[in-house]
Amino acid sequence: MIPGDKKPERAKDRHSSLVRLMILMKPYTGTLIICAICVLIVNLAELGKPYVAKIIIDDFLVGGQAQHGLYSITGMAVMYFVVALLGAAFSMTQVRLMARLSQNILNTMRQKVFDKILHMTMKALDKYGTGRLITRSTNDVETINEFYSDVFLNLFKDVFLLAGIIVVMFIMDWQLALVAMIGVPIIFGITFSMKRIIKRNFKQIKQLIGRINGFFAENISGMKVIQAFNRQSDKLEEFRDLNKKYYHRTMMQVFLNSFLRPVMEVVNSLIIALLIWYGYGRISGGTLQVGVLYAFTNYVKQFFNPINDLAEKYTTIESALVSTERIYEVLDEPSVEDLAEGTHGGPVQGTVEFKDVWFAYNEGDWILKGISFKVEKGQKIAFVGHTGAGKSTIINLISRYYTIQKGQILVDGIPVEQWKLKDLRQGVSTVMQDVFLFTGTVADNLDMHASLDRPTMERALAISDADDFVNSIGGLEAPVIEQGFNFSTGQRQLLSFARAIAHDPAILVLDEATAHIDTNTEELVQKSIENISKGRTSIFIAHRLSTIENCDQIFVIDDGQIRERGTHQQLYDLGGIYYGLIKAQVEEKQPAGAQP
């Protein structure tokens, strides 16, 4: 985009945000019409009160008119009270209706945002990051709540009130009305001159909130590591720096907010002073009644109150527009998954083939370089190699979490792009190195909303050797706290095996499943792996090479390429990279000074 195009683009985005905020209210047109009627009645009541006071002053207190019935001081007082009461009643009705409308809109918006996140591709999720998505789902939605429940409610009322006051003032005395209008250009000039500063500051605040949310999410998840390395002070210092930036931005916003209101009050007082000065001269000349001047001073106060509110809420409006842009940035994200997309469906049989596959997370930075291999149904294979070689990337590509740039990946002879994602992923179960369990029960974590029956889940626990410890804590109804931290690492791993096997996959993928467990637990986990991999195509990403000795084929990955392939014995006899990895692990296990 050339520099001259930036300003129109920002204006376009702002206009688009306003339109989208309005479109969200379309399903509630009936409620809006009722609110509009309530606003008209409330504003008529507000306009009527100064006029009733004007009649009392000019007709009875100054004019000495004869009083009878409603046309009396008592009658006018009763009328004043009735008008105020009606205004209060309809105002309360309007507030309740608008509050219900705004909550319905926000409920829908939250669901849309979360639904969008659920269907984003992994690449899109990587792009946004946890903190930014949390901010858009919570803070930004709450900002829009303020717009609908507070700003829009008053905006709706204030615009009608302003129009009514202008009409009444010009009907009563057009000369006084012109004097009252002097302050309007001043107010709008100040407000719009600050618009760009306010919007830029709000964008920076939103970005900082996203960074703070991400910082909390990351550090709470990694608290054990922080405490293990005694890095509490360093992390606190990092947060202080981030929090200080947020503090300065919010203080700038406080200044902007606190600046507008007093300026409006000064302009308001100036206009009232001008009215009194100008009106006194006309009263002395007999061309203006005292009651009219009194009514005007009240109308001017009423006139500037909504303008003050609009100026004060202008920052909230700008914040809502920024939040709307950020939310729709997520909702408009094109990188989404369609589980029904694809021409081929049905159960997966278990054959996997890579043909000259090239893949990069970032363009040009190749992680996999010309990977080719084939796994027949029921075979067991393993990938080994140093950290960062590309092993885990391979298993992400089998389930099509990412799209390859070159080559072809086939499952049962069908390109993965042609598979319906729901069927493809139903046939592939992956057990990750870092097990994630959801808050709920053991049954919830095994079932994953697939409506599995109890015998199926119990059989999966038995096959994965998790039944003993699960039965000891209460069975399938045993509680699981956040991320399963009420279980040991080995227990979480066994539950993840049970979850995978409960869904009866044709292809089972184990990503470094024994990397974080001790030797004693490894024996139990290894037995579980042997049980769950029977009769299935099994793909292992191995950290402990002793766990893959019985695989039909082992692939050694180095720098994104397959450097060696064969059985355990073949690769060991080759004396290459694989042999070196085994030798290194054997030496790690031996006591210092011992001979290999």
Per-residue buried b or exposed e for 462-487, using 16+ beta carbons within 10 Å of the residue's own CB: ebbbbbebbeeeebbebebeeebeeb
Q: Are strands 406-411 and 380-384 parallel, antiparallel or unpaired?
A: unpaired
> Any idea what the Cα angle at residue 381 is, between residues 378 and 382, rounded to 5°?
150
Q: What is the pLDDT of residues 48-60, one digit of tens each?
A: 777 777 777 777 7
- Does residue 412 contact residue 351 with C-beta atoms inside 8 Å? yes
pLDDT (average), residues 31-52: 81
3-state secondary structure 452-508: CCHHHHHHHHHHCCCHHHHHHCCHHHCEECHHHCCCCHHHHHHHHHHHHHHCCCCEE
Task: State the DSSP code for 168.
Answer: H
> Any idea what the Cα angle at residue 128 is, between residues 238 and 111, rounded to 5°?
115
354 phi and psi, to 5 degrees?
-110, 130
* pLDDT for 505 beyond 60: yes
| Distance (Å, whole) CA 466 – CA 448 | 17
Please report where in the chains the tokens 């293990």 appear, as a residue: 228
SS3 state at 363: coil
Question: What is the reported pLDDT for 521?
Answer: 61
| Max mean pLDDT range (6-20, 264-278, 331-345) | 331-345
Task: State the DSSP code for 71.
Answer: B
Structure tokens that stand for 71 in this block: 């046309």
Q: What is the pLDDT of residues 136-158, one digit of tens each?
A: 888 888 888 878 777 776 776 77
C-alpha pair distances (Å), 56 with each of 144, 167, 293, 299:
45, 21, 13, 16
| Distance (Å, whole) CA 76 – CA 91 | 22
What lies within 8 Å, CB to CB, of 560 at 6+ separation is 366, 367, 368, 369, 371, 389, 390
Q: What is the pLDDT of residues 371-417, one digit of tens each?
A: 999 999 999 999 998 877 888 899 889 989 899 999 999 999 999 99
Question: What is the reported pLDDT for 453?
Answer: 92
Question: What is the reported pLDDT for 516?
Answer: 55
Q: Are strands 368-375 and 352-359 parallel, antiparallel or unpaired?
A: antiparallel
* pLDDT for 199 beyond 80: no
Q: Residue 460's closest CA among 487, 442, 435, 440?
A: 442
Please report where in the chains the tokens 């139990």 appear, as a residue: 524
Domains contained in the chain, CATH given? 3-331 (1.20.1560.10), 352-427+505-589 (3.40.50.300), 435-504 (3.40.50.300)
Which helix (H) or strand (E) segment is 563 a member of? strand 561-566
Please state the pTM of the whole predicted model.
Answer: 0.70
- Does residue 289 contact residue 176 with C-beta atoms inside 8 Å? no
* pLDDT for 595 beyond 60: no
Cα torsion at 542, 543, 549, 550 (round to 10°)? -30
Question: What is the reported pLDDT for 149?
Answer: 72
3-state secondary structure 512-553: CCCCCCCHHHHHHHHHHHHHHCCCCEEEEECCCHHHHCCCCE
| Distance (Å, whole) CA 332 – CA 113 | 10
pLDDT (average), residues 542-564: 86
- Does residue 478 contact residue 400 with C-beta atoms inside 8 Å? no
* pLDDT for 284 beyond 80: no
pLDDT (average), residues 293-312: 73
